[in-house]
Structure formats: C-alpha cells, structure tokens
Homo-oligomer: A and B are copies of this chain.
Amino acid sequence: MPTLRIDLGPRSYDIVIVPREPEFRAAHPGLAEFVRHTLPHSTAALVVGDTNTRPYAQEVEAALAAAGWRTAMAVVPAGEASKCLAQLARLYDALYELAADRQTAVIAVGGGMVGDLAGFAAATYNRGLPLIMVPTSLLAMVDSSVGGKTAINHPQGKNLIGAFHQPRGVWIDLAHLGTLPEREYLSGLAEVVKYGVILDAEFFEFLEAQAAQVRDRKSAVIPEVVARCCRLKADVVERDEYETTGLRAILNYGHTFAHAYETLAGYGTLLHGEAVAIGMMDAARLAQQLGLVDATFVARQQRLLEAFWLPTSPLFELATEELLAVMRRDKKAAAGQLRFILPTRLGEVKLVDAVPETLVRTVLERR
C-alpha cells in the first residue's frame, strides 16, 4: 500500500493512501486491519462521523465489531457549526458510555470538521486517547488530518480552542473523492494550490499544466496530488511540530484573512477552502503592496485558483473594521500587531511582522 511516514520520534505515524482501483483494493487489507495493526493494545473504539459520512462510519464500526472490538458510534450534524463545546460534550458522553480507558481509540471518519472535533475530544479525554484519522474530503486528506492540530471554534474565533495531538495513523481512501460534492472537492484544491505557492514551484507548475485533469478528479493525477501535499506538509510538521520556530506558520498562508471571512460570514457559509482561496489572493496583493512580489505572481496565482473554479474575492460585502478586529485576535498575531505569511516568489514565503494596518485596509477594500 502506498505509505508515507511522518517522523516525529515517539509520535511517528503512517499515512496510507488507498487507490481507487477495485482490483488493487480487493488484494489489500482494509481499514479495520490497519487500525488493529496500528493500535495492537486497543480493543475498543468510538467511531465519529457526521450526517454525511454516517454510512461509511457505520461500515468502519461494523468491521471493527466483527473483529471483536467493543465499539460505539457518534454522529454529529455536518457543517462547521458542529465544532463547538456542545458537540464536544456529546463525544465526551459517548466515551464515558463506552467506558473508555486510555487505550480506547477515537476514529474520525469525515472531513476537516470531524477530524478537528473528534481529534480534540481524543486529545483531552483521559488526557489523551489514540486517534486514527480517516479523512473523506480532499481538504482533510491533504491538510487537516496530518500534523496533529485539533480544535473547536470559539463563537468569535475559528480554531481558538484546541490542542496538538498527533494521530496514530491516517487512512486516506481516494474512493471518497469520487462521491464528494463538487463544491467540497474544489474547496480542497485551494489548500493544494497553497502548497505549490509556499513550498514547491515545480508542483505549482504541474498543477497549472494538469489543471483540467486535477479539477476533474482524474485517477492519472489525483494520487500524485494527494501524496505530494501530504509529503510537503509532513516535512514542515517534522521540523516544527508545535509551531514554535515559525516554520510551521507558513502553512497558514492566506489563513489570517480566511479565518476572518469565515468568522464574520458565519461558520459554514463559506467553505474553508473558498475562504483560503480569497485569503491567498489578499495575501498576494498585500505582498505586492510591500514590493515582495510583482503583478505577474499575483495574476498567476489567480489564474490557477480560477482554473479550479475557486472564488478570488469575497462574494459579499464584509466590513473592513470588523475583519481587522477579528484578524488582530488571530493566533498568529502578537501583541495586537498583524502578522502575515507572504510570498516572496513562487515556492517561498516568509513571516512578515507588524504589517501597517493601512496597507491591509487597502487590500481589504480592493482600492
């Protein structure tokens, strides 16, 4: 099975990428066996899904139950609004009902929301339970399921409450991409573009050349896209697991803007990737204002995002001052000063401290 290893000493783990081809799948072990192999001391699991992934979560639960595990399932409403204290409390209750001990696994079956929420429950119940990520959206496959960030939202700030808690394994089944609604799939491509911009010019060029194939989820390109993104993210996380050196912060390219859009639009109105696409354009224009990149760079990023049918400016009006107020509370902000990850050329970004608010206003107001 195609497998990537993320090397974090005692917290190292495997990311398995399962191809779509039926003949390949028939010849290889499935998820339940991966879970059992990864967690040899576990005999119980809480499988967490949402109202969209429920059928697959049920399959996972049934396979583990058939292997003799004690299992339970928790299903939360689909959508970002479920990343809240109330749904978290439901997962705690389910773990209590299951009589979870420190070997009881949490298996997150779903997109970024399910992974973040179930991951945070796993991080904090009994001060830490083993976690298996089973991402079903492109965004979760290439980004949120790898690296150990878990979170819920504060009513006024996305991901403000969370913990670092590495999964014990990640199981990426590319078959899920076939049934993903188009808007969900395209949203995930925003993070794919991000990896090209921040780390890998060659990958960016590959995406430009294969844009239609990538957009149409062709088997000729998808395994490569997912594996490349996971490897790029793993390399960053290996070098800065807890976001202390500043390196890991580059993964937040476009995200300071994006979180503000998501927060003010109301969680779930904009998909995360859509907000990131708009945020990357803001960041690129801010970099241009600061003389870090030229207009060609900005246009090239915009063309690729548009080739993936992603928005590159907000779809509705949001008040500049309110956006700024949210951005000042971003986790990356320092002492109320705005900080941004900005491109310096294709494949390279840097952290820019104390960006003047007037420049940010200019970008937000698209003057």
A101-144 residues with Cβ-Cβ distance < 8 A to B are 101-103, 120, 123-128
A147 and B271 CA atoms in complex are apart in Å by: 41
Residues of B within 8 A of A43 (CB): 335
- In the assembled complex, A328 has its CB within 8 A of some CB on chain B: yes
Residues of B within 8 A of A102 (CB): 331, 334
A336 and B99 CA atoms in complex are apart in Å by: 8
Residues of B within 8 A of A328 (CB): 99
A126 and B85 CA atoms in complex are apart in Å by: 15
Provide the A144-171 mask, 1 if CB < 8 A to any CB of B, else 0: 0000010100101100111110000000
Provide the A45-88 mask, 1 if CB < 8 A to any CB of B, else 0: 00000000000000000000000000000000000000001001
Please determine whether A331 and B127 come into contact, CB atoms closer than 8 angstroms: yes
Please determine whether A160 and B96 come into contact, CB atoms closer than 8 angstroms: yes
- In the assembled complex, A209 has its CB within 8 A of some CB on chain B: no
- In the assembled complex, A329 has its CB within 8 A of some CB on chain B: yes
Please determine whether B156 and A96 come into contact, CB atoms closer than 8 angstroms: yes
**A127 is contacted by which of B85, B127, B164 (Cβ under 8 Å)?**
B164
Please determine whether A160 and B92 come into contact, CB atoms closer than 8 angstroms: yes
- In the assembled complex, A333 has its CB within 8 A of some CB on chain B: yes
Residues of B within 8 A of A242 (CB): 128
With A149-B127, A151-B127, A154-B96 as contacts: A334 and B163 at CB distance below 8 Å: no
Residues of B within 8 A of A354 (CB): none
Nearest B residue to A333 via CB reads B101
Residues of B within 8 A of A151 (CB): 127
- In the assembled complex, A89 has its CB within 8 A of some CB on chain B: yes
Residues of B within 8 A of A329 (CB): 96, 99-101
Whole-angstrom distance from the CB of A338 to the nearest CB of chain B?
11
Provide the A317-335 mask, 1 if CB < 8 A to any CB of B, else 0: 0000000000011010111
Residues of B within 8 A of A157 (CB): 96
Nearest B residue to A121 via CB reads B161
With A124-B163, A163-B127, A331-B127 as contacts: A89 and B99 at CB distance below 8 Å: no
Residues of B within 8 A of A163 (CB): 123-124, 127-128, 163
**A154 is contacted by which of B92, B154, B331, B335 (Cβ under 8 Å)?**
B92
Nearest B residue to A95 via CB reads B160
A127 and B123 CA atoms in complex are apart in Å by: 11
A4 and B23 CA atoms in complex are apart in Å by: 63
Please determine whether A101 and B160 come into contact, CB atoms closer than 8 angstroms: no
- What are the nearest 6 A-B pairs in CB distance? A126-B331, A127-B162, A101-B333, A124-B161, A99-B329, A101-B334
29 pairs of residues in contact across A and B, judged by CB atoms under 8 Å: A44-B335, A92-B160, A93-B154, A96-B157, A96-B160, A96-B329, A99-B329, A100-B329, A101-B329, A101-B333, A101-B334, A101-B336, A102-B331, A103-B334, A103-B335, A123-B163, A124-B124, A124-B161, A124-B163, A125-B160, A126-B160, A126-B162, A126-B331, A127-B149, A127-B163, A127-B164, A127-B331, A128-B164, A163-B163
Known: A92-B161, A96-B157, A123-B163. 10 other contacts (CB 8 A): A92-B160, A96-B156, A99-B328, A99-B329, A100-B329, A101-B335, A124-B161, A126-B162, A127-B164, A127-B331
